[in-house]
Chain A
Amino acid sequence: METIVFSLLNGVIYGLLLFMLSSGLTLIFSMMGVLNFAHASFYMLGAYFAYTIMGVSSFWLALFIAPVLVGVIGMGVEKWGLRRVHANGHVAELLFTFGLAYLIDEIVKIIWGRTSVNYQVPDSLNFTLFTLYGADYPAYRIFMFFVAVAMLIFLWYMLKKTRIGLIIQAALTHPHMVGHLGHNVPLVFMGVFGAGCALAGLAGVIGGNYFITDPAMAVQMGPIVFVVVVVGGLGSLEGAFIAAMLIGILQTSAVSINASLADIFGFLGLSPASEVGEITISSMAPMLPFLLLVLILIVKPTGLMGDREV
């Protein structure tokens, strides 16, 4: 019982963090038709900016300023980088974001060093909220949960209930028509790219001090975010949400399962002493998202909620 409760709690929070990252990525994809390889780098920038801002003022200021800064950088990248490259087709754009990811990596190493920085949870949130089955539950995790949920509601409201959202949705599918109607489509694109990056930055602000802030965090987070987006269906926000939750819960709960493959497939004659049989589910946890990715691509290439082929 306690295993299930903990797995769900931790899985949901991890899932929400993943969603925060992948929502921006999937928005950008549906807009430009290109996967932004540098997306996780913006996540990293968010964490580093927050660390620096926290050093001179407070975490709460960082929580607002860092994502905005990251968003502004994202807009700049779109305006002076991607938009120019766009004329040369998707491959050029893809390569551009790929190079950008390396560039950001190296810049971060030059400015903040190659090792992790001491980006800590603020003292005002660094306490035990409640004790569950003998384990303390840190308040910061619940804080992460609320920030993510607030962002989720805001995003949903913005896209579905406001005029801006209407124009964005229209621009995603019929950019030329929206342009002919007199809307500034390049501005919309720049705004969406910036907002997507800002979301990644926000995830960095709240994820960076919970995990670890180092130059490798982008490389480590990158693949898993792509998995979320592809499994959810490219361009689908609802899909990204479901996929993020699924992967978050799958990964955290797998860790707590002690059973080995032999225990599960024993009826097929798999011996517990064999190489394959002795693999435990918990040791397979980091592999599961990628297994899911492969399965989804075989069974439903459009992803869970998507409508276009990868």
Chain B
Amino acid sequence: MTKFTRAALAASVSFMAMAGSAYAEMKIAFIDPLSGPMGPSGDAAFTSYKLAFEHINNEGGINGEQVELTGYDNKVSPKESLVQLQKAIDSGARYIFQGNGSSVAAAIIDAVNKHNARNPGEEVLFMNYAAVTPAFTNEACSFWHFRFDAHADMKMNAITDWITARDDIQKVYLIGQDYVFGEAVAAAAEKQLGEKDSSIEIVGNELHPLAKVKDFTPYIQKIIQSEADAVITGNWGQDMTLLVKAAADSGLTIPFLTFYGGSLGAVAALGEGSIDTLYQVSEGVTNQEASDEQYALIEEYKQRFPDYDYYYHRAFVAAEMLKAAAEKAGSNEPIEVAKALEGLTVEGAYGPVTMRAEDHQAQQNLYISTVSKDVKYGVDNIDLGWVLVDNGTIDASAAEEPTTCEMERPE
């Protein structure tokens, strides 16, 4: 490299950095519950993104543009979300992050599709980090939607594999929230258990209202009466915490296989009763082997946001993938970023994450974990924390599910 090019490069970099701090901003909207019963779920993710984009900004932003992250409270209501989405788009946000509630995600996908069809050149992208109804990357897939979390069928695959490997589980009880996601979880469990081991009996299939039940004791009585050996639930937020709390109070100590057992307060509610009874499937466990960098991140998060624990690993992955794609495309224009995201792989802290091009479903390792006492990182500010179970690692290739997506791509 000649002296001249080096100087030119330095000048352009400093110019870009200047431009970044002075004018250009990449606006990102985060739409999720930030108050109310599901507020903690949204806020825990929001704080994760805050930290992730702060790191990115400190390293010079995305293509030289500083990220400006704004939170919009949707109160888990699809109707409210559309109002917030319009507000976000009007304020110039071209990237929408949302995750809590598939009913909300479905509304946003629809709205984003329409917006992009009507406003060519002003497209927005929907980055879904937690709404896991399989349809979004199957029959209802969209070019404008990317999912960074494993969907319900993939997670259920991990759970049903674990159950069929255990000989002592013959009767399974399904309980979930009464909306599209809860239905998807129940359907996946029924189908997969039927295919994998026909001797396993489903002794209950219950849906309860979303975020409305205060006392789960009557549901727990039903589970006890059904003589189930294990419970599968997709519950999240308060519905998760109260469910296991009621189970503990009623002395029900069978395994709870959950998607979101890591919801704030669930481990604290159960205390030591959660050891070997509470299980979850996630894309990473804080107490598993990782780089020092990752450990530092976990500690920084806890220090900054002491109310929460490092849980939304996929939020950090999503932010990293957005940056990687934008830099690969050399542009922050959503349509270019979307094309660059397809097939992109980043090296995550718990294994590589690839955005499958056909359906925009992230493929990553899944881990089954349970609660243990002797851990590096506790949760809920007590000394219990999540650890990997034996054979708890499900390789990305094993977790992968086929898709029926036939995506319409823009020119």
- Taking Cβ atoms with an 8 Å cutoff, the residues of A that contact B are 2-3, 6-7, 10, 14, 109, 113-116, 118, 128, 131, 133-138, 140, 210-212, 214-216, 219-220, 252-253, 255-256, 282-283, 285-286
Beyond A135-B224, A282-B206, is A116–B218 a contact (Cβ under 8 Å)?
no
**Chain B contacts for A3, CB-based, 8 A:** 221, 225
30 CB-based A-B contacts, threshold 8 Å: A3-B225, A6-B217, A6-B221, A10-B217, A10-B218, A14-B215, A109-B35, A115-B43, A116-B40, A116-B238, A134-B225, A135-B250, A135-B252, A136-B249, A137-B250, A211-B214, A211-B242, A212-B214, A212-B241, A212-B265, A214-B37, A214-B40, A216-B39, A220-B212, A255-B208, A255-B219, A255-B222, A282-B206, A286-B209, A286-B212
Distance in angstroms between the alpha carbons of A20 and B212 in the assembled complex: 21
**Chain A contacts for B215, CB-based, 8 A:** 10, 14, 210-211, 252
Contact in complex: A255, B251 (CB < 8 Å)? no
Partner of A256, one of B208, B218, B241, B381: B218
Distance in angstroms between the alpha carbons of A2 and B35 in the assembled complex: 39
Distance in angstroms between the alpha carbons of A134 and B264 in the assembled complex: 29
Distance in angstroms between the alpha carbons of A109 and B215 in the assembled complex: 23
Beyond A118-B265, A134-B224, A216-B39, is A283–B207 a contact (Cβ under 8 Å)?
yes
**Chain A contacts for B222, CB-based, 8 A:** 255-256
Closest to A140 in B: B249
Closest to A207 in B: B214
Closest to B220 in A: A135
Q: Which residues of B215-272 have CB atoms within 8 Å of chain A's CB atoms? A: 215, 217-222, 224-225, 238, 241-242, 249-252, 264-265, 268
Q: Is the interface of A mostly helix, strand, loop or mixed?
A: mixed
Contact in complex: A113, B307 (CB < 8 Å)? yes
**Chain A contacts for B251, CB-based, 8 A:** 128, 131, 135-136
Among B221, B250, B251, B264, the most chain A Cβ lie within 10 Å of the Cβ of B221
B401 within 8 A of A: no
Beyond A14-B215, A220-B214, is A115–B40 a contact (Cβ under 8 Å)?
yes
Closest to A9 in B: B217
Contact in complex: B39, A114 (CB < 8 Å)? yes
**Chain B contacts for A214, CB-based, 8 A:** 37, 39-40, 238
